[in-house]
């Protein structure tokens, strides 16, 4: 799959991969996959997560490298279909996170919404952020972004 992706799509997928690869070792473990899915408020069961790992872990080392991760996206499975939907949320998140600091600022959100053809005025933007910024830090983290993504 990686060979068929445009350079931009491949770069975005690598950023998504790095969201899952919490320790930066170039591989995603079952625990890392479950952790990110939990942040996304995803309802994949433990069995579905294990199914994903079994389908994708071609060398049977208990983790997914980037090539296995991209190959996974072509697999036909209900669990993989659910995962692909969440990967799309992550892809949009990394696109909106212009400065790549792991959260989306008010200005980044304004620009992203404008680019999507959904310009928000200050009051609308403040209301939207207040609805999803559960920790009140003025930034939108990945778990908060999931709520926002489904509102858009």
CATH assignment at residue 36: 1.10.238.10
CA distance readout (Å), 91 to 5, 12, 19, 97, 122: 14, 6, 10, 10, 26
Residues spanned by the domain of 20: 2-94
Domain end residue (candidates: 72, 94, 116): 94
- Helix segments in 57-133, DSSP class H: 66-72, 78-96, 106-115, 122-132
Q: Are residues 89 and 109 in the same domain?
A: no
- Specify whether 88 is located in the same domain as 114: no
137, 81: one domain: no
pLDDT at position 2, please?
42
State the total domains in the chain. Answer: 2
In terms of domains, do 13 and 56 share one? Answer: yes
Residue with tokens 């930066």: 24
Say yes or no: 68 and 134 in one domain. no
Q: Do residue 105 and residue 77 come from a single domain?
A: no
For residue 116, the model assigns a pLDDT of: 83
User: 87 and 110 share a domain?
Assistant: no
**Predicted pLDDT at 3:** 45
Position 1 scores a pLDDT of 42
138 with 121, same domain: the answer is yes
Q: Which residues of the chain fall short of a pLDDT of 50?
A: 1-3
Whether residues 106 and 87 share a domain: the answer is no
pLDDT attached to residue 51: 87
pLDDT score for 127: 92
């Amino acid at each position: 799959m990686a060979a068929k992706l445009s350079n931009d799509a491949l770069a975005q997928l690598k950023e998504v991969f790095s969201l899952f690869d919490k320790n930066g070792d170039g591989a995603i473990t079952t625990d890392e996959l479950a952790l990110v899915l939990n942040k996304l408020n995803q309802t994949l069961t433990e069995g579905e997560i294990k199914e994903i790992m079994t389908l994708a872990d071609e060398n049977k080392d208990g983790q997914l490298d980037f090539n296995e991760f991209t190959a996974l996206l072509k697999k036909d499975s209900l669990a993989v279909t659910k995962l692909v939907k969440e990967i799309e949320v992550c892809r949009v998140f990394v696109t909106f996170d212009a400065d790549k600091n792991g959260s989306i600022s008010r200005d980044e959100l304004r620009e992203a919404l404008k680019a999507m053809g959904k310009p928000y005025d200050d009051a609308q933007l403040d209301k939207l952020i207040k609805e999803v910024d559960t920790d009140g830090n003025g930034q939108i983290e990945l778990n908060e972004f999931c709520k926002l993504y489904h509102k858009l």
